[in-house]
Structure 1
Amino acid sequence: MILESALLYVKEGTAVQFEDDFKAAGQYISSIPGYLRHSLNKCLEQSDKYLLLVEWETLEDHTFGFRQSAAYQEWKRLLHHYYEPFPIVEHFEPIPLK
């Protein structure tokens, strides 16, 4: 399992519309093979800051399967104009603790 994370800073005054569009965009990311789940978390200290977490089976499910799909073009159309600055996306893998 790979965990994708992105800190999203949305333009001031667009948070409500961003959240609505994000809900609509969920259908696109969730349609990709290898997608497991995602969550969007709103920062308590900064009202225009969010944390996006997406679980993928493999890194390639995100970097190739999603980003090179028609679904990604719809995701991008719905969401990318909200970000300022554009987010840095990082990927993490779990460390076995036992």
Structure 2
Amino acid sequence: MILEVAVLQVKSGLSDEFERNFKQASTIISKIKGYISHELQTCIEEDSKYILLVRWETLEDHTEGFRGSAEYLEWKSLLHHFYDPFPTVEHYTNVDLG
């Protein structure tokens, strides 16, 4: 499993609209091959800052499958205009501590 992590800085005053659009965008991403789950959390200290966590079966399911899809264009049109600056997306995997 791969964990995609993005810190989202939403432009001031647009949080409510962003959350409405994100709810719609959630239905898009949840249908993509390799998608496992996602969550969006808002920052307690900064009300226009969010963290997006998406679990994928493989890195390629996100970087090639989703980002190369027509669905990604719809996701992008719903959400990308809210960000300033544009978020950095990173991918993580579990550390075996066993």
Give the TM bin, normalised by the shorter chain.
over 0.9
Three-state SS of the structure 1 residue aligned to 2:77 is helix
Using the alignment, how far apart are the partners of 1:32 and 1:11 within structure 2?
A: 28
* 1:96 positional shift: 1.3
Q: Does 2:40 correspond to 1:9?
A: no
* 1:2 positional shift: 0.2
**Per-residue CA shift, 1:54-95, capped at 9, x if unaligned?**
000000000000000011000000000000000000000001
Using the alignment, how far apart are the partners of 1:71 and 1:97 within structure 2?
A: 37
Using the alignment, how far apart are the partners of 1:31 and 1:71 within structure 2?
A: 9
Aligned CA-pair RMSD? 0.4
Using the alignment, how far apart are the partners of 1:38 and 1:74 within structure 2?
A: 17
The equivalent residue for 1:86 is: 86
Using the alignment, how far apart are the partners of 2:27 and 2:97 within structure 1?
A: 34
Three-state SS of the structure 2 residue aligned to 1:32 is coil
Q: 5+ unaligned residues in a row in structure 2: which ranges?
A: none
TM-score, with length taken from structure 1: 0.99
Q: 5+ unaligned residues in a row in structure 1: which ranges?
A: none
The equivalent residue for 1:30 is: 30
Give % identity.
Answer: 58
Q: Which runs of 4+ in 1 moved over 6 A?
A: none
The residue type equivalent to 2:53 in the other structure is L
Using the alignment, how far apart are the partners of 1:36 and 1:72 within structure 2?
A: 16
The residue type equivalent to 2:31 in the other structure is S
